[in-house]
Amino acid sequence: MNRVIPVLCAAILGGIGIPSVSAEPSTIREEIIITASRQNLSAGQTGSSFTLIDQADLNDRNAAFVPDILREVPGVAVNRGGPVGSLTQVRMRGAEGNHTLVLIDGIEANDPAFGSEFNFAPLLTQGSKRIEVLRGPQSALWGSDAIAGVISLHSELPEAGEQNLTFDLGTGSQATTQSSLQGGFGHERVRGSVNASQYRTAGVSASELQPERDGIETRTMHGIVEADVNESLIARMVLRQTDSRVEEDTQDFNFPSTPTQGLVIDSRNETDFHQRYGLAELRHSGFDEQLGQRLAFGWADTSSHFIDADRTTSATAGNRRKFDYDATLNFGADRLSHALTVGAQYEALRFRNRAVDFGGADQNREDEQTSGIFEYTLGFDAQLWLSIAARHDWNDRFDDATTWRGTASSLVGDHGTRLHGSYGEGIANPGFFELFGFIPSSFAGNPNLKPESSTGFDFGVEQTFLDGQVVIDLTAFTSNFTDEITTSFDFNTFVSSPVNLGDKSKRKGLEFSASANLPGGFCIQGSYAYVHAKDREGRQEIRRPHHSGSTTLGYDFAAKRGNVTLSAVYNGNQRDAEFIFATPTDRVVLGDYLLVNLAASFAVTEAVSVYTRIDNLFDEDYTELFGFRSPGTTALIGVNISVF
């Protein structure tokens, strides 16, 4: 069923990214977009295409997991391998899942073991204050893995004099429970916050053939503290740990073929997944804040234990250690403003792989990289902002690489028109598992892989009306990928292995977003994206729909004590890999689908509010990965209690 036309029509009245659902005028262009530069640039000065998701957006949607919010962002495709908790990939502008860099309070969170791809499955929304999505190659700023863009999460930190302690408890269908504790304090010189969150569900079976349930239990602890050492020096510490246990079904790869060969079947597979992150940071300002310096040490440790019938069969672990220093000098006079940033990074990576029954899979590997960073921005008469950035990486395992990025943002007249554009280069080094990973009888790494690279360009027009009450943005983009890594399957040995493609693969498309604050407490937003992603053979890349979009209607009532938000998310038909040897093809078409979600909340008192969320309101039957079942209608109801 083709649903593109109604979604497009609704999107004409929709939102830039996902603005706050309220009747207040939008101020998004005054917000500092932290990820868009190593300097402090407001949204109106940012040439790159971005989406800002703020605290009000997160509160209004009541979504438990970040990927469910990202489905509404133009140019972003989310694919979950079955029920809630299954491996969840996020692709931007037709790129691969490991081409997006994920930052959590400034910490690089991509898994150092598995191809540097971040698994979004256990990423809860609790504790997040805002999410920034920066589209286009950003390696000149952020290095490897930012080949398609950056997704950055930021936690809430109280201002001086503020204190809070909040409990959140929820329960719902499929034996789901969620809970969180959020606390924060702000004194004159010290600020801190802590969040502890838990989510558990029995879920549904990942197999469409058998009814056994596959659930998840995930717990996250996150803390941040910031202290003013003196008038010019700020110290900051971030610690985060996530522990997850996910039940899984597996695909039947037995040969010769059986009736279920290539399909997902019931199994007793589980994965224990652990993520530990940290950041220690010093920020210094001097010379009347004309000079700013930042020194940081960040780390990430991940481990995965793969379990079959209560027996651990293999395990992997990776860790990253990163030192980061940069200095920014602000200077200029009258109509001109300048800022120059120079910096250096050192990164060390380690990987460990073990298999119980196959010693040949055991690996211990290391890698390191040193980088130099440069960024210059120029502002002219508060109307035009230009930036150029460059980065050079001295690699231990791969050839050295240099990447560039340039952006422009310009206000045209006094009619609310802004032109923005960017050019960027991206690079993604192969991950340890791609290079050295080994799963007996199914996967062998390729130590001869080369880094993937890309060049990308976008140009957009943003228009505001009615003093910011209505905002629309249209952006066109194109990018070329070189040495793209794909998986090659050997039908003689039935072992797959990653290889570099020899030719360029291309992506191009359009992204549209709009918002309108309406009288009476209504707000309507929407987005639409057309993504044309082809491989070197001219075939549509898997799991990347040509058409996608969303529309959201919000309503505040009872003097803003209550809110109702109705959203519709459209995903067009897409291709996926098919491994049924008895069929003549290796691709299958997954049908389009429309997910309608409803969220509501009401403040009973100043300290107590109740909320509910219903996902897939009309019980749409859909598939995000071939053979894997997605959950039907799910509902959750909860209460939020503020102690102070």
CA pair distance 28, 54, nearest whole angstrom: 10
SS3 letters for 257-326? CCCCCCCEEEEEEEEEEEEEEEEEEEEEEECCCCEEEEEEEEEEEEEEEEEECCEEEEEEEEEEEEEEEE
**HEC per residue, 95-139:** CCHHHEEEEECCEECCCCCCCCCCCCCCCECCCEEEEEEEECCCH
| pLDDT at res. 250 | 85
Question: What average pLDDT score do residues 219-236 get?
Answer: 96
Return the structure tokens found at 161. Answer: 């004099």
pLDDT one-digit tens code per residue, 274-313: 999 999 999 999 998 899 999 999 999 999 999 998 899 8
pLDDT tens profile 129-148: 999 999 999 999 999 889 99
pLDDT(474) > 90: yes
Q: Give pLDDT, residue 256.
A: 62
- What confidence tens digit (pLDDT) does each residue in 50-109 have? 999 999 999 999 999 999 999 999 999 999 988 888 889 999 999 998 999 999 999 999
Higher local confidence (pLDDT), 569 or 160: 569
Q: What is the pLDDT of residues 148-167, one digit of tens each?
A: 999 999 998 998 889 999 99
Q: What mean pLDDT comes out for the span 368-372?
A: 96
Characterize the bridge pairing of strands 547-557 and 562-571.
antiparallel
Q: Which pLDDT score is estimated for 444?
A: 86
Is residue 1 pLDDT above 60, yes or no? no
Tens digit of pLDDT for each residue in 393-421?
Answer: 999 999 999 999 999 999 998 889 999 99
Given a cut of 60, is residue 22 above it in pLDDT?
Answer: no
pLDDT of residue 441: 67
* Secondary structure of residue 77 in the 3-state scheme: strand
Q: What's residue 195's pLDDT?
A: 97
pLDDT value, residue 468: 81
For residues 631 and 208, is the Cβ–Cβ distance under 8 A? no
CATH topology of domain 4-642: Maltoporin; Chain A (2.40.170)
What was the pLDDT predicted at 363? 87
Does residue 21 have a pLDDT over 70? no
CA distance 320 to 301: 7
Pairwise CA distance, residues 180 & 220, whole Å: 9
| Number of helices and strands in the chain (H, E) | 5, 35
Residues 6+ apart with CB under 8 A from 623: 590, 591, 629, 630
pLDDT of residue 29 exceeding 60: no
- pLDDT mean over 212-235: 95
In contact, 521 and 547? CB cutoff 8 Å? no
Q: What is the pLDDT of residue 255?
A: 65
DSSP state, residue 207: B
pLDDT at 372 over 70: yes
What does the pLDDT look like over 160-210, one tens digit per residue?
Answer: 889 999 999 999 999 999 999 999 999 989 999 999 999 999 999 998 888
Would you state the pLDDT for residue 577?
87
Residue 257 binned pLDDT confidence (cut-offs 50, 70, 90) = low
Encoded tokens for 387: 């930036």
pLDDT reported for residue 413: 84
pLDDT band at 579 (very low <50, low <70, confident <90, very high): confident
Q: pLDDT at position 323, please?
A: 97
53 touches 18 (CB < 8 A): yes
Tell me the two tokens of residue 12. 């004409």
Q: What is the pLDDT of residues 337-368, one digit of tens each?
A: 999 999 999 999 999 998 887 777 888 999 99
Question: Residue 547: which pLDDT band, with cuts at 50, 70 and 90?
Answer: very high
Q: Is pLDDT at 5 greater than 50 in this prediction? A: no
The chain-wide mean pLDDT, for the chain, equals 90
